Structure 1
Amino acid sequence: MEFGCVSAGCPNHWIRYGKYCYLFVTRYPMEWIDAMTFCKTYGAILAEVKSSSVNTFLRHEARRLTGIFWLGGSDMFIERSWKWMSSNTRFYYSTWGHGEPNDSGGEHCVQLHSSFNYAWNDAKCQNRFNFICQKAA
């Protein structure tokens, strides 16, 4: 499958990869909780990365669009117990940047960070960043 192509089964501006559609929101950077709410209004969730192939796809698109992107993971309820919040599932796959997650000053939300070549980073949930929504195709 070619990256960046719009495929059948996804709404306009969403990109299909595998059995999901992804929307990369770059015009309206939001706090993590607001990004989650935004995705819900479209029947979607903040992206949950459960495999290396999905991670590669998301990294490729994020790099193409540039910027930092929220994902749907957090440890806000139990420190260092990272979960995908919409599905309430623990991380069984992860690709943290070097030295991450480090909880520097209360960082509890996951992002794809450009400074780490789009590896994962924990950041303060109140920061405003781009984000990625995900829903079934």
Structure 2
Amino acid sequence: MSFFSILLCLGVYICAKGCEIGWIRLHTKCYMFSHTTASWAEAESICSAFHSILAEPKSTEESKFLISHSENEGRLSSQPNEHTSANCVILWKAFHGLWADEPCGKHYNFICETLHQPDGDVIG
């Protein structure tokens, strides 16, 4: 195994430690970036099936992290805001992670989030 391969494997292990396979960790949360599109309600159901919620970034750092790991332009996120006719929010890569209101029925890729589960130490 080459040195690069070892570093790559180690990097993947460290990033995902405490998260399910295919999820990416930032601080206390794990994220799953969809490769398919869904409406807000469908995305919410899919996240729920993974015992998670649609991502709700609470800081600029978290928004930048989500955008930097997004392959597509828009990602459904958070809950409907119910203030306009476009009641769901999306993170737009082109707008540097700022929010945009979109109709809830439109299909976008989405991000699920859950709290990361620290590995338990066995004593004794």
TM-score range normalised by the length of the shorter chain: 0.7 to 0.9
Structure 2 unaligned regions, length at least 5: 1-10, 117-124
**Aligned partners of 1:109 and 1:123 also within 8 Å:** yes
What's the counterpart of residue 53 of structure 1? 61
Cα displacement (A) at 1:66: 2.3
Q: When the two structures are aligned, how many residues end up with a matched partner?
A: 104
**Residues in 1 aligned to 2:69 and 2:98: alpha-carbon distance in whole angstroms:** 13
Question: What's the TM-score, normalizing by structure 1?
Answer: 0.70
**Aligned partners of 1:36 and 1:72 also within 8 Å:** no
Larger radius of gyration: 2
What's the counterpart of residue 76 of structure 2? 70
Q: Where do 1:23-42 residues align within 5 Å? A: 23-26=32-35, 28-42=36-50
Q: Which has the higher helix share?
A: 2
Q: C-alpha root-mean-square deviation of aligned residues, in Å?
A: 1.6
- For the pair 1:126 / 2:105, whether they are aligned, the reply is yes
**Aligned partners of 1:68 and 1:112 also within 8 Å:** yes
Q: Deviations over 1:64-100 (max 9, x none)?
A: x123100013223xx2xxxxxxxxxxxxxxxxxxxxx
Structure 1 unaligned regions, length at least 5: 80-102
What's the counterpart of residue 87 of structure 1? none
Percent identity between the aligned chains?
30
